[in-house]
Amino acid sequence: MARYYRLGGGLLALALVALVLALTVGGSTHGSQNAAQNLAAQAAARARQLPGPSQHARSPGPVISHPTKAPASAHARAPAGAAEVRDPEESRSFPVSGAVHYKTAATPSTAADEEFHPSPGAASTGQIKSELRAEEKAQSEEHASAARTAGAGSAATPVPGGESIGGNGQLPIPSGVPEVIQKVVAGANAITDFPYVYGGGHGSFVDNAYDCSGSVSYALAAGGLLSAPETSGELESWGAPGPGRYITVYANAGHTYMYVDGVLYDTAGRSGTYASRWQVGAVDNSGFVARHYPGL
Model confidence at 111, in pLDDT bands (50, 70, 90)?
Answer: confident
Residue 288 has pLDDT above 90, yes or no: yes
Q: Are 268 and 89 in contact (CB under 8 A)?
A: yes
* 266 contacts 257 by C-beta, under 8 angstroms: yes
Residue 32: the pLDDT is 46
Between these two residues, 183 and 32, which has the higher pLDDT value?
183
Which of 257, 266, 263 shows the shortest CA–CA distance to 280?
263
Q: Quick one: pLDDT band at residue 98, thresholds 50, 70, 90?
A: confident
Residue-wise pLDDT tens digits, 241-263: 999 999 999 999 999 999 999 99
- For the entire predicted model, the pTM comes to 0.62
- The confidence score (pLDDT) of residue 38 equals 53
Whether the per-residue pLDDT at 224 is higher than 80: the answer is yes
Q: Taking residues 153-164, what's their average pLDDT?
A: 79
114-128, 135-149, 259-273 — which is least confidently predicted? 135-149
Q: Is 245 exposed, middle or buried (0-12, 13-18, 19+ CB in 10 A)?
A: buried
Among 17-26, 60-69, 167-176, 247-256, which stretch is predicted with the lowest mean pLDDT? 60-69
- The pLDDT value recorded for residue 115 is 65
Instruction: Give every strand in the sheet of 240-241, ordered side by side.
Output: 240-241, 289-292, 247-251, 256-260, 263-265, 278-279
Q: What is the mean pLDDT of residues 118-133?
A: 48
Average pLDDT on 77-105 reads 79
What's the chain's average pLDDT? 73
Q: Are 247 and 294 in contact (CB under 8 A)?
A: no
112: pLDDT confidence band, cut at 50, 70 and 90? confident
